[in-house]
Structure 1
Amino acid sequence: MDYMIGIDLGTTSTKAVLFDDQNQVVAQSNVGYPLYRDQTDMAEEDLEEIFVAFTNALAAVVRKANLSKGNKITAVSFSSAMHSLIAFDKDWKPLTRVITWADTRAVKYADELKESGQGMEIYQKTGTPIHPMAPLSKLLWLRNDQPDIYKNAAHYLGIKEYLFFRLFGANKMDISIASGTGLFNIFNLDWDEQALSVTGLSKNQLPEPVSPYEYETKMKSDYATVLGLPADTPFVYGAGDGPLSNLGVDAVQPGVAAITIGTSGAIRVVSDKPVIDPKGRTFTYALDKEHWVVGGPVNNGGDVFRWARDNLFDAEKSTAALLGQDAYDLMTEVASKIPAGSDGLLFHPYLGGERAPIWDANARGSFFGLNHSHTRANMIRAVLEGITFNVYMVSLALEEVVGSLKSIQATGGFARSPLWRQMFADIFEQPVTVPQAFESGALAAVVVAQKALGQIDDLYEISKYVGKSNTYQPDPENFEAYRELAPIFIRLSRQLQTEYDNIADFQRKHMK
């Protein structure tokens, strides 16, 4: 049997998925690691912890392939979280941990760049909105707030690029990941001169941009031994997790949106060319040269639901654990007993600032409309509805750029919750389909590898392997409440934005 392995490099874990020659999941391994928030606005990972997690996850599924029995791994391919940054000195010694997309310490410099006018100029060439998430802004922060690191930094990589450098000695970055840096011109497919000038970087400090279909085959022998793989096994660069998520749920036709809610979230559609929003609200990232993903990311997805579990449902969480129940299932069961609209309780989910649609790293969360009749059950449903309203608000901006949406393909942890899926269908008033393959990112990475190795001619081959488990139709009984509340949610988000800077400054001053 020939196998392929899809690697999903995430914010808090790395997953390795073993697929057979029919693209069916045979085995998987998921190894987590912490996200360090040692101070306000920080969100970093440890390089060595990620590398160990990656090697452990990959080695675990290699063992499941039983290569000693004549089976073969024909490729390993990658889906990776975007926007990470690591600085190295001239001898390739790391000077920083992994500064992730969730790190917002660059907010001051992102705001200054936007106000200067250069920010919009750079966005129009790179397709990455000006925000602390992007390495462009992180570099401005390093230059101003960490001058010793900036002065000694000879090289910059993201986390996937670091893995390839360590395994193969390669210094390359696929154009999909590059298109999320804010430093890459998506029209000439090279590092952008204006972005380099603003950050003070030269091209030789950045990796060589390559196709997502490029691969390496000369792994260092000691790592090949650790992983249990032949050193000549092709490792395909693959692409960013957002673009691959669209491919993985077969959301590649016009008007078909992919919504992903994991730790964070996003809504995206595929275009045959880069599309720039005149208002700077949406991103355009490459899948490859012929496929571009246009959409908006949100910081606040499953991590907000986790916050609600830990802070609003803590006692029940312990009870659920004793009974062998899943705390999230118990929470959604409680929330399902509350009518649509949570009896007029709204929740803005901006616990970690926000990217699309407001692009404000100082945004903060809030409940609005609380009265004596509201319970924790109302609050839990309002949390789920608030996350959904926020993604809906992104979709309105997206429709201005790419046209109306026809249907939604759902993936990520939220897709396992029937209540949450129905909520999306009702608020969007669109059918929501959940594919059978939950491991959509890893599946898409494997399909990219098959194209890279010449096994298929077209990425659309993936449609053969993405089945449907359920399609949720909008429930008209819930339309009235959501149609009435959505405009309030949107207006309120704009009104509160006038005070986000002030409350964020207070928190930075008084909270450790």
Structure 2
Amino acid sequence: MNYLIGVDVGTSSTKAVLYDQDAQVITQANYGYELHRNAAGMAEQEPEEVINAAEQAIHDVATAADLSTGKLLAVSISSANQSLLLLDKNKKPLSRLITWADSRAQRAADNLKMMTEGQQLYMKTGVPVHPMSTLTKLLWLREDEPDLFSRTAYFADIKAYLLYRLFNEFKVDMSIASSTGLMNLKTCDWDDQALRVAGITKDQLPEIVDGTTQATGLVPEAQEKLGVPADTPFVYGAYDGALSNIGVGATKQNTVAITIGTSAAVRVVTDHPVIDPERRLFCYAINKGLWVVGGPLNNGGDVYEWAVKHLVDSSAVKNEQVDPYTLANHVIEGVPAGAHGLLFHPFLGGERAPLWNAKARGSFFGLSHIHTRADMLRAVMEGISMNIATVFQAVRALVGEPASVTATGGFARSKVWRQMLADILNCPVNVPDSFESGCLGSVVMAMQSLGMIDSLDTPQKFIGKVSSYQPDPTAVKVYQRYTPLFQQIEDMLAPAYSEIAKLQERQNN
């Protein structure tokens, strides 16, 4: 038996999955690390903790492979995008890793968004102006941390730094580069205008390579830590969202992939760049000839977790002897679609698509004496789904009517949420039983790199069993009345977000 390893370097943990040559899971390992939030807007990681977690996860699954009779064909890597690590002239970290979730570049983003150059750069790079982007993080650091910025010789994302540590080569896959706001979509190279605005040079950034590019020749220290043959090729892969599309087989323009984990995202793969004239969506290159269009949302399962924590009766959990999420889902099933006329806007963590406003805040609308905690729980789940639907509608308007939607993520463990999503989108929703779409996508990219498959169209046998949910016509009619109101209230509240954010900041300091 031959083997492949898919690695997913995430925001809270790194996971490695060992597959056989038919992409069937053999074993997996997962190591977490802290997300530091010691200041307002901060979301940083210790790079050494992330590197150690990745090395340990790869080591653990590699030991389960019988390399006496088989071969480890490749290791392929997925990672979260829009991370930023500042390095000195010897490529040693000068800072912690600034993740996509860090919002301290808000002022820099606001200023750039009002400038003509901000609009021009979106059209050239496909990256909305927002604190998450590497470009705005660089602007913020240059203004607020000038000494640190001036001492920085190189800038990297976490995957480029990991592979540098393993192979002593400084390269970045095309999808990660594309999501920085510094890469030109047409040339697939660093954009001169974006570099000038950021105040950096091309020499300070990794070389951009196709995602199927292989790194070989592990440095001795890394080979010892990983416990894999030194000549094992490591495939650069792509960012986690693009690989999730590949892992669920959503690689055609008529198939939309939706992920609802801690956060959420709506994505579709195209064979040409598609730029949203309203600047609601991103467009990133995956590799030569493939792009991904969509919108990331800050608010997904974390908002539902907040609701369950505060709205589920702890005594009922104890009496029923079930976990609070099982009880919450059971309670929600007993509430009709529309939650008796209660709407919830889920912007507890600001919002990326479709608002691109880090100051957005959550709210209940329509609350009255008739409403119960059960109604509020259902409204929260519906609000998350309606917010996803607004991005879904923008994607549909831009790239065309989808034939199907494939959804993955932690939400898929809830049958009531699966059906609700189909009803709110008014579109069939397919849910694969396997949740490891990012790792699987990275392995599919490795297979293409090795010549085992011709394209990134994932064979159905790799995906496994899929459950399908059809829209309920009765619920669809209800949501078709509520969704426009959800969007109307969102538009009405938008001007007040900045003021309430200021008041909260003053009171919390």
Deviates more, 1:423-432 or 1:287-296: 287-296
Q: 1:488 aligns with which of 478, 485, 492?
A: 485
Quote how far apart the aligned CAs of 1:440 are: 1.0
Aligned pairs (5 A) from 1:167-178? 167-178=166-177
- Distance in 2 of aligned mates of 1:89 and 1:222: 21
Deviation for aligned residue 1:480: 2.4
Partner of 1:162: 161
Query: Match of 1:156, SS?
Result: strand
Cα displacement (A) at 1:318: 7.0
SS in 2 for 1:42: coil
Equivalent AA in structure 2 for residue 225 of structure 1: E
Q: Deviations over 1:183-214 (max 9, x none)?
A: 01011010011110111010011100001011
Matched, 1:476 2:473: yes
CA contact (8 A) 2:101 2:132 kept: yes
Q: What is the alpha-carbon distance in structure 2 between the residues aligned to residue 387 and residue 317 of structure 1?
A: 25
Q: How far apart, CA to CA, are the structure 2 residues paired with 1:84 and 1:58?
A: 21
2:261 paired with 1:262:
yes
Aligned equivalents of 2:459, 2:45: Cα separation in 1: 32
- Corresponding letter in the other structure for 2:29: S
1:340 Cα offset (Å): 0.7
C-alpha distance in 1, partners of 2:452/2:141?
A: 44
Q: 1:297-308, aligned counterparts within 5 Å?
A: 297-308=296-307
TM-score by length of 1: 0.96
> 1:410 is matched with which residue: 407, 410, 413?
407
Contact 2:317 2:323 in 1 (8 A): no
* CA deviation vs aligned residue, 1:4-29 (integer Å, no higher than 9, x gap): 00011111111111101111011111
For the pair 1:98 / 2:97, whether they are aligned, the reply is yes
1:368 maps to what in 2? 365
**Alignment partner of 2:63: what SS?**
helix
Contact 1:106 1:137 in 2 (8 A): yes
Q: Would you say the 8 A contact 1:425–1:473 is kept in 2? A: yes
1:61 aligns with 2:61: yes
Would you say 1:287 and 2:322 are equivalent positions? no
For residue 29 of structure 2, give the secondary structure of its aligned residue in structure 1. strand
Structure 2 letter corresponding to 1:236: V
Distance 1:248 1:337 in 2: 34
- Distance in 2 of aligned mates of 1:510 and 1:3: 55
Q: Aligned letter for 1:308?
A: A
Tell me by how many angstroms 1:467 deviates.
3.2
The one of 331, 335, 338 equivalent to 1:338 is 335
Q: How far, CA to CA, are the matches of 1:357 and 1:168 in structure 2?
A: 39
Partners of 2:424 and 2:26 in 1: CA distance: 36
1:183-262 paired onto structure 2 within 5 Å: 183-262=182-261
Alignment of 1:380-419 (within 5 A): 380-419=377-416
Partners of 2:249 and 2:458 within 8 A in 1? no
Aligned to 1:121: 120
Contact preservation (8 Å) 2:76, 2:446 = yes
Are residues 26 and 378 of structure 1, via their aligned partners in 2, closer, same or farther at CA, if it must alter by over 3 Å? same
Q: How far apart are the structure 2 equivalents of 1:50 and 1:72?
A: 27
* Partner residue in 2 for 1:4: 4
Amino acid at match of 1:61: V
Contact 1:5 1:17 in 2 (8 A): yes
Instruction: Kindly provide the amino acid, as one letter, of the partner of residue 82 in structure 2.
Output: H
Task: Please tell me whether the aligned partners of residues 433 and 468 of structure 1 are also in contact (alpha carbons under 8 angstroms).
Answer: no
1:217, 1:234 within 8 Å by CA — same for their partners in 2? yes
Listed as ranges, the gaps of 5+ residues in structure 2 are: none
Task: Give 1:34's aligned amino acid.
Answer: E
After superposition, the Cα gap between the structure-2 partners of 1:314 and 1:238, relative to the gap in structure 1 and judged at 3 Å, is farther
Letter of the 1:167 counterpart:
L
Q: Which residue type is aligned with residue 36 of structure 1? A: H
The 3 A distance-change label for structure 1 pair 316 and 155 is farther
Measure, in 2, the Cα distance between the counterparts of 1:70 and 1:475.
52
TM-score w.r.t. structure 2 length?
A: 0.97
Distance 1:457 1:396 in 2: 32
Rounded to whole Å, the distance in 1 between the matches of 2:167 and 2:460 is 33
Taking a change above 3 Å as real, the CA distance of residues 255 and 461 of structure 1, as seen in their structure-2 partners, is closer
Q: Hey, what's the Cα distance between the residues in 1 that align with 2:100 and 2:295?
A: 14
Give the Cα–Cα distance (whole angstroms) in 1 for the partners of residues 131 and 316 of structure 2.
34
Per-residue Cα deviation, 1:476-495 (whole angstroms, up to 9, x for no partner): 12122211110111011111
Question: Equivalent residue for 2:500?
Answer: 503
1:319 shift after superposition: 3.5
Asked if 1:452 corresponds to 2:467, the answer is no
Name the amino acid aligned to 1:423.
M
SS at match of 2:60: helix
Asked whether the equivalents of residues 348 and 386 of structure 1 are also in contact (C-alpha less than 8 Å), the reply is yes
CA contact 1:247–1:462 (8 Å) conserved in 2: no
Paired residues of 1:447 and 1:462 also in contact (CA < 8 A): no
1:284 and 1:293 in contact (8 A); partners too: yes
Shift of 1:313: 3.2
**Superposition deviation, residue 330 in structure 1:** 2.1
Counterpart position of 2:376: 379
Looking at structure 2, the residues matched to 349 and 282 of structure 1 have their Cα atoms a distance apart, in angstroms, of 19
State the identity as a percent: 52
- Give me the CA root mean square deviation: 1.6
Residue 424 of structure 1 is matched in structure 2 by: 421
SS at match of 1:425: helix
Match of 1:145 in 2: 144
Change (3 A) 1:313 1:203: same
Deviations 1:451-471 (A, max 9, x none): 111222222243342234210
Partner of 1:72: 71
Amino acid across the alignment from 2:163: F
Q: Measure, in 2, the Cα distance between the counterparts of 1:212 and 1:317.
A: 50
Cα separation, 1, equivalents of 2:328 and 2:505: 32
Cα distance in 1 for residues equivalent to 2:304 and 2:246 = 26
Distance 1:45 1:222 in 2: 23
How far does residue 314 in structure 1 lie from its aligned partner after superposition? 7.2
Q: Is the 8 A contact 1:309 1:317 kept in 2?
A: no
Q: For the residues of structure 1 that align with 2:237 and 2:126, how far apart are their CA atoms?
A: 20
1:310 deviates by 2.8
Deviations 1:235-286 (A, max 9, x none): 1100011111111111122321100011111111111011111111111112
Q: Which runs of 4+ in 1 moved over 4 A?
A: none
The equivalent position to 1:436 in structure 2, one of 433, 436, 441, is 433
